[in-house]
């Protein structure tokens, strides 16, 4: 499992989805060659090629017209999903469905968007429109018993990467309970229904690949679970309104409307104002938005940076906002590595003329509403950014909270945001600094030395059993420290972990 987690930490969500979709299409092609699936490898390849070509051309045209950064990675994923749910090419009459589906899916990101934020899952809205317009629906041919094991394995990797297991489980429960209700009331066999829905339907592919699409899901856990339950309730084909019967794509489109109504609507195109260096590998970026961004301290956004020679890790990342809503600027803190991605290299050299796109504000790693809640913040390296946001907010709003921050770095030169934490001492927020590289500790160092241990926590926080712990940093550090807290008898409900899809 450690190897699996290391692999998932190093690959972005979008690359994982891209390679997984390619793998599913290759698997389907092999099954088709042996007659296990009723589609030849040529039919699958031809359909995929048509969808990709139309999708890329559409994306280039609309990006030019709308003066928006192009995102070929997203185009590939959208068209590959379409290739797995639209029946592979049989004859010339299938071309309109393929062409229109790709065109509608990609163009919907630009046309069906409000304040630069697209409302619908592109694949779902495309096949809904082709069904009503061309009277040609998606067949969801990937939902067969022979493909199910591969879809499930791939899907489980995705939900483990983005940590949306609860959301997928909620969808499954709602969909199966609803379909079971219809089956029983009609005198059907619920066990046969369960087998059919699990092995011969779009259930798994839909849940893992489309329901969890981050740009059209709500921003917080509670809303995401309600969203998943709503889509699951509408998912069964027995659900209908008059003569209009539900389909997976229609259920998702309705869910997208709910998601849009409860989600932040902003999508910002930002230009660099200033950047500061902390140590040798941490950079702090400051942007001045044209319009104020409404957010809660500790939340994150998805950032897109167009650049040349994009490597396999893509041109999108998730970063926590280091700024406080009380500040007019947007702040980001980013750690760089010697063998960094093309994205990180482009970001390191970012100038004030390159657009940086921020969207999909989300996250539950925020301050509790109860002002008297006692908290311990534990940060490793660049994991300090959400705490900078929260503490700066407390300082500016004169909120005196019972917070103790433990901040670990290898070297003293890597410590960031001391100005904010020093000012926070005036309202009772304490910061404990510790250096883990014992060989590089300065002679005048007055902080702690070594990793954050249970003994160190007990030394500075005697009432630790009454505290809620917030953990932020590299995945391995967060997971490891969660286990340490459990040995200290800290209840799971009192441990909050910073998470967004793709820490790299």
Q: Minimal CA–CA distance to 319: which of 280, 353, 350?
A: 350
Reported as a pLDDT band with limits 50, 70 and 90, residue 219 is confident
> E strands within 307-346?
316-320, 330-335
Residue 281 is predicted with a pLDDT of 84
Residue 116 is predicted with a pLDDT of 67
In whole angstroms, give the CA distance from residue 375 to residue 394: 13
Q: Express each pLDDT in 304-358 by its tens digit.
A: 888 888 776 678 888 999 999 999 999 999 988 877 788 888 999 999 888 898 9
Q: Which long-range contacts (CB under 8 A, 24 or more apart) does 415-421 make?
A: 415/278, 415/279, 416/278, 416/279, 416/282, 416/284, 416/333, 416/384, 416/388, 417/322, 417/333, 417/384, 417/388, 420/388, 420/391, 420/392, 420/395, 421/391
Find out whether 303 and 342 touch, Cβ atoms under 8 Å: no
Higher pLDDT: 71 or 289? It is 289
Q: Minimal CA–CA distance to 445: which of 413, 482, 489, 421?
A: 413
Reported as a pLDDT band with limits 50, 70 and 90, residue 69 is low
b/e burial code for range 388-400 (CB count within 10 A of at least 16 → b)? bbbbbbbbeeebe
Q: Express each pLDDT in 126-166 by its tens digit.
A: 999 999 888 888 999 999 999 999 999 999 999 988 889 99
What's the pTM? 0.83
Higher pLDDT: 405 or 265? It is 405
State yes or no: pLDDT of 503 exceeds 50.
Answer: no
Higher pLDDT: 228 or 501? It is 228
What one-character-per-residue DSSP string does 224-277 give?
Answer: HHHHHHHHHHH-STT-EETTEE--HHHHHHHHHHHHHHHS----EEE-EEEEEE
């Amino acid at each position: 499992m450690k190897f699996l987690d290391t692999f998932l930490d190093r690959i972005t969500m979008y690359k994982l989805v891209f390679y997984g979709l390619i793998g599913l299409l290759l698997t389907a092609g092999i099954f088709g060659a042996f007659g296990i699936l009723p589609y030849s490898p040529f039919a699958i390849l031809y359909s995929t090629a048509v969808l990709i070509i139309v999708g890329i051309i559409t994306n280039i045209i609309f990006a030019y017209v709308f003066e928006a950064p192009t995102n070929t990675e997203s185009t590939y994923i959208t068209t590959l999903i379409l290739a797995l749910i639209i029946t592979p090419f049989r004859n010339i009459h299938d071309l309109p469905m393929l062409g229109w589906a790709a065109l509608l899916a990609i163009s919907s990101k630009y046309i069906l968007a409000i304040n630069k934020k697209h409302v619908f899952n592109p694949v779902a809205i495309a096949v809904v429109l082709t069904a009503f317009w061309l009277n040609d629906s998606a067949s969801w041919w990937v939902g067969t018993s022979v493909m199910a094991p591969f879809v499930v394995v791939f899907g489980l990797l995705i939900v483990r990467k983005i940590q949306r297991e609860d959301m997928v489980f909620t969808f499954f429960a709602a969909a199966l309970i609803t379909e079971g209700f219809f089956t029983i009331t009609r005198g059907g066999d619920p066990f046969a229904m369960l087998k059919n829905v699990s092995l011969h339907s779009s259930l798994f592919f839909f849940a893992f690949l489309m329901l969890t699409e981050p740009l059209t899901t709500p921003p917080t856990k509670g809303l995401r679970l309600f969203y998943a339950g709503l889509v699951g309730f509408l998912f069964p084909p027995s659900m209908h309104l008059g003569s209009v019967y539900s389909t997976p794509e229609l259920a998702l489109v309705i869910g997208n409307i709910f998601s849009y109504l409860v989600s932040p609507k902003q999508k910002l195109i930002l230009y660099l104002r200033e950047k500061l260096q902390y140590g040798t590998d941490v950079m702090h970026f400051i942007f001045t938005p044209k319009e104020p961004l409404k957010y809660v301290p500790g939340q994150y956004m998805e950032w897109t940076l167009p650049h040349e020679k994009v490597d396999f890790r893509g041109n999108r990342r998730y970063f926590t906002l280091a700024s406080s809503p009380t500040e007019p600027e947007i702040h980001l803190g980013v750690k760089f590595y010697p063998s960094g991605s093309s994205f990180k290299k482009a970001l390191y050299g970012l100038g004030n003329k390159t657009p940086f796109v921020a969207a999909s504000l989300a996250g539950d790693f925020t301050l509790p509403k109860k002002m008297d809640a006692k908290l311990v913040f534990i940060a490793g390296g660049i994991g300090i950014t959400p705490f900078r946001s929260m503490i700066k907010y407390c300082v500016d709003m004169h909120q005196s909270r019972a917070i103790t921050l433990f901040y670990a770095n290898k070297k003293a030169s890597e410590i960031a945001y001391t100005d904010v934490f020093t000012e926070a001492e005036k309202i009772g927020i304490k910061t404990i600094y510790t250096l883990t590289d014992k060989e590089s500790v300065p002679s005048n160092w007055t902080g702690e030395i070594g990793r954050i241990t249970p003994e160190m926590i007990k030394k500075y926080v005697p009432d630790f059993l009454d505290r809620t712990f917030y953990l932020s940093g590299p995945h391995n550090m967060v997971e490891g420290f969660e286990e340490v807290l459990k040995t200290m008898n800290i209840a799971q409900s009192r441990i909050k972990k910073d998470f967004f899809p793709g820490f790299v």
